[in-house]
Amino acid sequence: MDEHLLRFDKEKTYVFIDCETLNLCLNSCHNLPWQIGMIKVINGKIVDQKDIYIKWDTDLKISDDAARITRYDQKKIDRLGVKPEEIFATVEDWLDSCDYIMGHNTLGFDVYLIKDYYKFMGKSSEHLYPKFIDTNAIAKGIKMGIPYKAGDDLLEYQYKAYHTIKKGVKTNLTALGKEFEIDVDYNNLHDAVNDLILNIKVWDKLKWQIDI
């Protein structure tokens, strides 16, 4: 029987998270998240969401490419942004209390920003790592025929899939959305919350293709 699989579990709490950042560096010495989107999902339904803009005390500037791609608006940050210390308790509560932390390319990118954010607040994020499910890694595993076997370490499996490269395999969020014929506004992506709406729908397709 397969009732133990996540696709049948109606009780688990998932937090989908996405960070929009100043650039693509993986270290807070050179990069910081200016937007953190989080959507809480239970039994396939959105029950809450947060769209957080952060004002850091930093001399770092957003790169021209990042500003263009993410439609960065300094006036919006000035108006809606909060200090990282003010909002951390909310981020920590959501991530610590959920069963799974979901995202697309979280293990290749967002996890490093989250780790540094916890470190900035004098906290460790190591307890979070076993809860990560990266839909990019899952999609790569499926497309490249890397099977997940019951009892395998899920985090280890995802890193193996993530670091496996095969020419022609496309697993970016936009490509997956179009492959699954998901109806969203693709012109409005690269906003954290908009990306997460698509991410949730992509996960709803992927979870039927892998037995976890």
pLDDT in tens, 111-166: 999 999 999 999 999 999 999 999 999 999 999 999 998 889 999 999 999 999 99
Model confidence pLDDT, tens digit, residues 65-107: 888 888 888 999 999 999 999 999 999 999 999 999 999 999 9
Amino acid found at 58: T
177: helix, coil or strand? helix
Q: Which among 62, 63, 48, 58 is positioned nearest to 14, based on CA atoms? A: 48
CA distance 34 to 52: 8
Sheet strand arrangement including 33-42: 45-53, 33-42, 13-21, 100-103, 132-134
pLDDT at residue 110 tops 90: yes
Domain total of the chain: 1
Q: Which domain holds residue 132?
A: 6-206
Question: Can you give the pLDDT at residue 200?
Answer: 96
Q: What is the pLDDT of residues 169-195, one digit of tens each?
A: 999 999 999 999 998 877 776 677 888
**pLDDT for the residue numbered 8:** 92
- Predicted TM-score (pTM) of the model is 0.93
First and final C-alpha spacing in the chain: 13
User: Would residue 49 count as lying in a domain?
Assistant: yes
**pLDDT of amino acid 133:** 98
Whether 134 maps to a domain, the answer reads yes
CATH number of 62's domain: 3.30.420.10
Q: Which pLDDT value is given to residue 29? A: 83
Q: pLDDT tens, 20-75?
A: 999 888 888 889 999 999 999 999 999 999 999 999 999 988 888 888 888 888 99
DSSP 106: I
Does 211 map to a domain? no
Q: Is 148 inside any structural domain?
A: yes
Report the SS3 class of residue 123: coil
Would you give the DSSP letter of residue 52? E
Supply the pLDDT for residue 2.
75
163 in a domain, yes or no? yes
Structure token digits, residue 33: 């998240």
- 76 within some domain: yes
Residue 160 lies in a domain: yes
Position 82 in a domain? yes
